[in-house]
Amino acid sequence: MNMMFVCQTARATTIEEGGPTGPTMEPADAWGRRWVNATSTLAKRYMEVATAKRSLVCLAADRNTMAGLFSLIEEVGDHVAALKTHVDLVDDWTADAWSDFCRAAQHANLLIFEDRKFADIGKISRAQMAGIYDIRSWSDLVTAHLISGPDVVDGLQAGWDDVGRSGGVLLLAQMSSRGNLLHPAYTTEVVEKGASHSGVFGFIGNGSRPAELKALREAVGDEKMIWTPGVNLAVGDGEMGQRYGDPTEAVMAGSDCIIVGSGIHKASDPKQAAQAYAEASWSGLLNRTG
Ligand code: 5BU
């Protein structure tokens, strides 16, 4: 894979350009209460990029080769606002290739979100931000379970501090997979504990169930983000227990970002698929009342 080629062809979308389709809209107009109430600069950055690209899509880039990952960014970078990774599922991973990949993602104006689902005690979570993958050095966002208590968030924040960077934690308040054990009482506690923590960027909600999502949004309020996996234009059961809901409905129920994996990276035309998800998510935002 020719890395220089990737960097030269990937094009950063700026707000002034108004994104790939349509005129410029101000983030405050598109996002309403969420924009006004957001206290996190990262959340504002996300909303700006999403507005510029008219897309509330986070691409779950679950391809297992570096070439596959590079070509995804090249094809769909203009139509997605963030990039979600699983750094440990890439077969031919090397530190150099990953660093080039992150540079290409930044060039395409994408927040980088490692879905690591940290769950250990604070000091170990901090140490796990380092190690061979050095997640603290390239991620803007990571996921965590709150099962071990609130110190996991401080540990992750300390990880970013250790390299002079900052980032945000998305706490798993719900999951999209069937039979998961994140019951409503647990969700409530995660939201109560996470809502007031400045290191918490927001919550993962279940994109496959708009009613659950609506309840989650009511509990979370307007300040924090809710990002949702379990979204596909083909609604229904997915592979191995995954469940899918409709992208527009998820956004209208309170999701700020739909996380889409196979709907894009396994499509015969990923660019066209990314555009379709972008449009579905954007129309949900423009039509939602809260
Ligand atoms: P899919 O191909 O759109 O089903 O991929 C979904 C992605 O979102 C995949 O990377 C999962 O690890 C991730 N995910 C999820 O599906 N459900 C969850 O509750 C959480 C993450 Br948390």
Q: Quick check: CB of 202 below 6 Å from ligand 1?
A: no
Active site members: 117
Domain ranges of the chain: 29-287
Architecture of domain 29-287: Alpha-Beta Barrel (3.20)
In testing the pocket of ligand 1, which one of 57, 58, 59, 62 has its CB within 8 Å of the most ligand atoms? 62
Residue with tokens 């927001």: 202
pTM (global) more than 0.75: yes
User: 164 CB contacts (<8 Å, ≥6 apart)?
Assistant: none
* Whole-angstrom distance, CA of residue 107 vs CA of residue 86: 20
* Whole-angstrom distance, CA of residue 64 vs CA of residue 92: 8
Q: How far is CA 90 from CA 16, 62, 145, in A?
A: 35, 8, 23
* pLDDT of the chain, 290 residues: tens digit per residue: 333 323 322 333 433 344 455 567 999 999 999 999 999 999 999 999 999 999 999 999 999 999 999 999 999 999 999 999 999 999 999 999 999 999 999 999 999 999 999 999 999 999 999 999 999 999 999 999 999 999 999 999 999 999 999 999 999 999 999 999 999 999 999 999 999 999 999 999 999 999 999 999 999 999 999 999 999 999 999 999 999 999 999 999 999 999 999 999 999 999 999 999 999 999 999 999 76
Instruction: Work out which ligand 1 atom sits closest to the CA atom of 262.
Output: 2
Q: Are 51 and 30 in contact (CB under 8 A)?
A: yes
Q: Are 101 and 74 in contact (CB under 8 A)?
A: no
143 bridge partner residues: 170
